Amino acid sequence: MPKIIFRSKEGDKVVDAREGETLLEVAERAGVGLFGGCGGAGVCGSCQVYIEPKYLEKINEASFEEQDLLEALPNGKVNSRLACQVKISDKLDGMVVEIP
């Protein structure tokens, strides 16, 4: 069971994730202050997070639609992803996810 570390102004929270769920589902279950405004459809940008850089190549690639949306966000960074589009796998164990 991979562990995800959510980092916010309140500090770090380590959460058990399940393979196959999305990063947004893990965050919502954990109550770390991240919400999906469009219900995980990948069209609103409210679930943007910053991924620990060394894990970027271990997560599923962003679609063109996701990349377009991330580039349009005012606080987007090179390590931004939409949490609703990131699928949990065992390879992500120990990943730090920063909540803007």
Establish if 49 lies at the interface with ligand FES (CB under 6 A).
no
Nearest to residue 92, comparing CAs of 26, 9, 8?
A: 26
Establish if 38 lies at the interface with ligand FES (CB under 6 A).
yes
From 17, 42, 51, 80, residue interacting with ligand FES (rule: CB under 6 A): 42
Residue whose CB is nearest to ligand FES in the complex, by number? 36
Nearest to residue 40, comparing CAs of 84, 89, 99, 90?
A: 84
Establish if 30 lies at the interface with ligand FES (CB under 6 A).
no
d(CA 64, CA 70): 10
Report, in angstroms and rounded to the nearest whole number, the Rg of the chain calculated over CA atoms.
12
**∠ at Cα 95 (92, 97), nearest 5°?**
125
Establish if 29 lies at the interface with ligand FES (CB under 6 A).
no
Establish if 82 lies at the interface with ligand FES (CB under 6 A).
yes
Stretch that binds ligand FES, among 4-12, 34-42, 72-80, 91-99 (CB under 6 A): 34-42
What is the binding site for ligand FES (CB under 6 A)? 24, 36-38, 40-47, 82, 84
